[in-house]
């Protein structure tokens, strides 16, 4: 069970636009609209089953959560459906395993609609205007932050998968266009190789 009491937090209400996927194809958040504002809501992957069983795009929801500093994000402690069901973060399930998925080479090219963040506000990727989710490790994301900012034109290539809830790519190469791709991770020097 989460150590924060959801009822002690203010509720933010909105309408779900789309789910956001992690590299394993699990829901780890959603985008909701509060009037004219898009709000990124992070949820832990262990809430995936309940969220997708009880919610779909277009549904009204209420979220009790915390806002980390420096990120446009609401990290959910609980999500309430219009029918009154409360889906609460019960904490990590240590026996839970990620689903086994088969990834394929994928690429994407478009405009960033929203930057994606982890629960503590660390940059972790981008949501493109066509709904494609680009995922980048937090260390690597710092180096390509300008390409993951809303409004940026970006192209990416990596390993991905497509599910009934959307498309996600674990980015290996990224750039401002398909002809400008660069590796997001610099290869580690081989053991015994001399530093220049």
- Decide if pLDDT at 124 tops 70: yes
Overall average pLDDT of the 9-20 stretch? 94
Residue (of 17, 162, 176) closest to 112 by Cα position: 176
Which pLDDT band holds residue 163 (cuts at 50, 70, 90)?
very high
**Measured between alpha carbons, how far is 74 from 71 in angstroms, rounded to an integer?**
9
CA dihedral 64, 67, 68, 70 (to 10 degrees): 160
**Tens digits of residue pLDDT in 45-92:** 889 999 999 999 999 999 999 999 888 899 999 999 999 999 998 877
- Residue 79's pLDDT is what? 96
Tell how many helices (H) and how many strands (E) occur in the chain.
Answer: 2, 12
- Residue 132's pLDDT is what? 97
How many C-beta atoms surround the C-beta of residue 130 within 10 A? 12
Which pLDDT band holds residue 195 (cuts at 50, 70, 90)?
very low
User: Partners of 112 in the beta sheet?
Assistant: 128
Domain annotation for the chain: domains and CATH numbers: 6-88 (2.40.50.140), 104-183 (2.40.50.140)
Beta carbons of 68 and 81 less than 8 angstroms apart:
no
The pTM (predicted TM-score) of the whole model is 0.88
The fraction of the chain above a pLDDT of 70, given in percent, is: 92
């Amino acid at each position: 069970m989460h150590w924060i009491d959801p009822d002690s937090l203010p509720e933010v209400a909105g309408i779900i636009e789309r789910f956001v996927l992690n590299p394993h194809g699990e829901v780890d958040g959603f985008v909701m609209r509060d009037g004219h504002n898009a709000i990124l809501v992070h949820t832990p992957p262990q809430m995936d089953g309940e969220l997708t069983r009880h919610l779909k795009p277009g549904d009204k929801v209420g979220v009790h959560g915390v806002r980390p500093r420096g990120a446009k994000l609401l990290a959910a402690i609980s999500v309430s459906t219009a029918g009154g069901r409360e889906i609460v973060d019960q904490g990590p399930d240590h026996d839970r395993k990620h689903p086994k998925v088969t990834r394929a080479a994928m690429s994407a090219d478009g405009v960033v609609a929203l930057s994606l963040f982890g629960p503590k506000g660390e940059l972790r990727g981008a949501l493109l205007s066509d709904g494609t989710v680009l995922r980048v490790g937090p260390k690597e994301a710092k180096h390509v932050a300008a390409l993951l900012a809303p409004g940026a034109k970006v192209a990416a290539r990596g390993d991905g998968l497509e599910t009934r809830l959307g498309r996600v790519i674990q980015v290996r190469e990224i750039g401002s266009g398909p002809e400008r791709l660069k590796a997001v991770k610099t290869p580690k020097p081989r053991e015994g190789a001399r530093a220049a």
